[in-house]
Every structure is written in C-alpha cells, then in structure tokens.
Amino acid sequence: MRLTAQAWLLGKHIRHHPSSHYDARPEGMEIDILVVHGISLPPNQFGGNYIDALFSGTLNSNIHPYFADIVNSRVSAHVLIRRDGEIVQYVSFLDRAWHAGFSQFQGRERCNDFSIGIELEGCETIPYEPIQYLRLAALIRVVQARWPAITAEHIVGHCDIAPTRKTDPWASFDWTHLRQLLNN
C-alpha cells in the first residue's frame, strides 16, 4: 500500500469511490490526528453498498426505514475498511472529509480541519475482524510516514473527540490489539 502525490491510496484490496462530501482544509493546516470510527448500514448489518451510497449522497431512503433519518446527511470519511478487509477511499487525505462533526481534540475544535477519518465496518455488539486490524495498522503506517505528527497518542476514537454525542468505535474495538500491531 502506498500514497500518490495527491494522497490517494494505491495497492491491493483498495478501491476508490470518490465522494462530493468534502472541501478544502484551512490554509496551512497540519494533519495531526487520525480518528477511528465504526459504521454499519443498516445498523448491525454488514455488506452491501449502503455506506458508499451514504458517503456519495445517493442513499435510497426507501430501502430501509433507518435510511429515512440519514438520507440527507452530508457526511464522508477518508477511508472505510470493510469486514472482508477491502479498503474504500472516498476523499483524498489532503482534503477535509466530513466525518467528525462537532468535535474537539486537546482544546482544538473542528477536528475535520486537521484529522484523517477512518471508518471500520462494524457495530457495538460484534467484534471487528482480524483483517480489519491488519489493514488499519498498515494504513496507519502509510499515513504516519507522510504525516509524522500522527503519533500513537494522536490515534483516537470518534468517542474521544465527541464524547457527548458519539460512542464509536465502541467497546467492540480492541485498542490494545491495534497498538500491538503498530508496535511490531
């Protein structure tokens, strides 16, 4: 896995699905945190193209009752790691994806301005797959090579930057395992 000059991932198991839900980062903004998220659409169900549709603004609200509440959301992440290990990139890492919402990290608000958002296909009650941790660790290494300010202390969950409104990637995410992989 490697990054192009335009900060798109290339390699095996990587697919691009560009989203229009992004904009430019503020001028001179240093990228220095990586935010891990969890998502499943519909909730607690895996597979399908619903996450791609949500992040590209093409979600059909008639497919599932839950979608009626989120169909007009203008959200995205830089990357999704699916349960089978496929990596889908929606937004260049150079641009600001809309993944964090109202958020704060170390006293700085608007985390989208200075973060990379990585979604993992998962839910609160089912453990993430081993391949997802392996791909996440490999992705983090590639990102850290380009943005060394993203240290271990700057890899956080959505719950850490928006604790009053978000709980993902939930207790089903094994932070200890991820840190072990990153230290090997």
For 82-121, what is each residue's pLDDT tens digit?
A: 999 999 999 999 999 999 999 999 999 999 999 999 999 9
Q: Among residues of the chain, what percentage have pLDDT more than 90?
A: 99
Is this model's pTM higher than 0.95 or not? yes
Catalytic residue among 27, 86, 119, 153: 119
pLDDT averaged over every residue in the chain: 97
How far CA 24 is from CA of 7, 96, 155, 182, in Å, comes to 13, 6, 22, 30
- 46 — phi, psi (to 5°)? -120, 160
Tell me the mean pLDDT in the region 169-179. Answer: 98
Tens of pLDDT, residue by residue over 123-163, are 999 999 999 999 999 999 999 999 999 999 999 999 999 99
pLDDT tops 90 at residue 178: yes
DSSP letters, 165-180, are T--TT-TTS-HHHHHH
CA pair distance 127, 130, nearest whole angstrom: 9
How far CA 51 is from CA of 39, 41, 115, in Å, comes to 8, 6, 20
pLDDT number for residue 74? 95
Contacts of 118 (CB under 8 A, 6+ apart): 34, 35, 36, 37, 77, 78, 79, 80, 81, 136, 139
Residue that has been written with the tokens 């990153």 in this structure? 182
Q: How confident is the model at residue 53 (pLDDT cuts 50, 70, 90)?
A: very high
Amino acid at 53: A
Q: How confident is the model at residue 169 (pLDDT cuts 50, 70, 90)?
A: very high
pLDDT tops 90 at residue 184: no
As assigned by CATH, the class of the 2-183 domain is: alpha beta
Tens of pLDDT, residue by residue over 16-26, are 999 999 999 99
| Pairing verdict, β 2-3 and 33-39 | unpaired
Q: How confident is the model at residue 166 (pLDDT cuts 50, 70, 90)?
A: very high
Domain spans in the chain, listed from the N-terminal domain onward: 2-183
pLDDT number for residue 33? 98
Q: In the annotation, is 119 catalytic?
A: yes
Counting Cβ atoms within 10 Å, is residue 38 exposed (0-12), middle (13-18) or buried (19+)? buried
Contacts of 3 (CB under 8 A, 6+ apart): 9, 10, 93, 142, 143, 146
pLDDT tops 90 at residue 63: yes
